[in-house]
Amino acid sequence: MSDLKISAAELEAATDTILEIDLKTQAQKGPDLRQVHAKSHGLVWGEFIIEDSIPETLKVGVFREPKTYPLWARFSNASDPEKRGQLKSDREPDLRGLAIKLLNVEGEKILDDEHETQDFILLNLPIFIVRDVQGFANLTKAGIGQAEPEVLQSLAPTFEILKEATSKPIANPLLIQYWSTTPFKLGSHVIKFSVKPQQQDIPNSPQSSENFLREAMIKFLTEDRQEAKFDFLIQIYVDDEKTLIEDPTQEWKEADTPFIKLATLRIPAQKFDFEERKRLDEGLSFSPWHTLPEHEPIGSINQARKKIYQEIAKFRREHIEDRLREPQPYTVILDEPQ
């Protein structure tokens, strides 16, 4: 089973490149907002219900025993803000994300900024968009127009993945499948995980509203008073041919490593489209490193995310505090959509 294939120096350099660009972009487009997954379709509460028939070797971490954890779940678009005060329309091609924060999770965590949480972060495609952290850095450069021609050429596979992934029509974030895309520990196992809805999405005609995904969630959970249920599934590492660790652009095929259900994610009917909930949404920080050691992230992409997610969240929160403590003139911050 392979470990990191790049040196610590290469990992650090690529991570710092990503972070430098992200922080600069965040400062320009909206320091109060997330750099990625800026647009939320809804922050909702729910339950994470551990199965009572899990195989003994998988009874690890939060899955150690049958139990129900309260949670917050945030559904989002993956893109950053378009410009200050303006988020991308839901009609534009984009990846969709799901971030889950379990609460009342006992035990020492890898990061010490949250003491009783366990996060799971997912995208609506089974693979990641780049092979390694250097590809991640190259894509970040391309996003601000600083990539050399040979770098752009190396990103051709990434652009193909993005084109295919963002071309699939979506009608409701509550009714589509999400994947971890990168590997994690489950005790002595290496796994990937997925959250699959028990009801399926049925896209209709093209949507006209810029916020139709939030509107779909409001209709489903609030107006129609339906609950959403997902199966939390894992796939177990087999070997370096069928289940690559350091190349997350290669899918772990269900035929090679079948899904095993460990829990049910239940989101009851509820109201969530109000200002207090939106403030909580913006204040929360999600990271794959908000975790018990038994669920530690693996691979260079996840290693980079550790520092990047921490620093961007820290910058966002510090900016909010500074701005409230020492307000700046409008001419300094130009606080309106440009």
Under the banding of pLDDT at 50, 70 and 90, the label for residue 56 is very high
Q: Where are the alpha helices (DSSP H) in the chain?
A: 8-29, 133-143, 149-154, 156-166, 212-217, 275-283, 300-325, 330-333
Give the domain range for residue 36. 8-333
31 found inside a domain: yes
**In the predicted structure, residue 39 carries a pLDDT above the cut 60:** yes
Residues 6+ apart with CB under 8 A from 166: 93, 94, 95
**Mean pLDDT, residues 309-319 taken together:** 83
**In the predicted structure, residue 338 carries a pLDDT above the cut 70:** no
For residue 323, how many other CB atoms are within 10 A of its CB? 14
Q: What is the value of pTM for the model shown?
A: 0.91
3 found inside a domain: no
Which is more confident, 26 or 303? 303
**In the predicted structure, residue 124 carries a pLDDT above the cut 60:** yes
Q: For position 337, what pLDDT does the model report?
A: 63
pLDDT digits (tens, 9 = 90+) for 27-37: 777 777 777 88
Which is more confident, 283 or 76? 76
**Mean pLDDT, residues 195-221 taken together:** 89
163 found inside a domain: yes
Antiparallel, parallel or unpaired: β 189-197 and 184-186 = antiparallel
Under the banding of pLDDT at 50, 70 and 90, the label for residue 175 is very high
**Mean pLDDT, residues 112-138 taken together:** 91
The C-alpha atoms of residue 182 and residue 245 are separated, in whole angstroms, by 8
Q: For position 326, what pLDDT does the model report?
A: 82
Q: What is the CATH number of the domain that holds 77?
A: 2.40.180.10
pLDDT digits (tens, 9 = 90+) for 317-335: 887 787 778 877 777 776 6
Instruction: Pick the range with the lowest mean pLDDT from 150-154, 216-220, 250-254, 287-291.
Output: 150-154
The C-alpha atoms of residue 140 and residue 142 are separated, in whole angstroms, by 5
pLDDT digits (tens, 9 = 90+) for 69-104: 999 999 999 988 887 778 889 999 999 999 999 999
Q: For position 66, what pLDDT does the model report?
A: 96
Instruction: Residue 142: name the closest of 26, 246, 25 by CA.
Output: 25
Instruction: Residue 294: name the closest of 180, 192, 181, 190 by CA.
Output: 190
The percentage of residues in the chain with a pLDDT greater than 70, rounded to a whole number, is 96
2 found inside a domain: no
pLDDT digits (tens, 9 = 90+) for 190-200: 999 999 999 98
If one counts the domains in the chain, the total is 1
The C-alpha atoms of residue 71 and residue 228 are separated, in whole angstroms, by 14
Residues 6+ apart with CB under 8 A from 158: 129, 130, 135, 139, 249
Residue 185's beta-bridge partner residues? 190
pLDDT digits (tens, 9 = 90+) for 111-122: 989 999 999 999
165 found inside a domain: yes
318 found inside a domain: yes
Q: For position 2, what pLDDT does the model report?
A: 45
338 found inside a domain: no
The percentage of residues in the chain with a pLDDT greater than 90, rounded to a whole number, is 56
1 found inside a domain: no
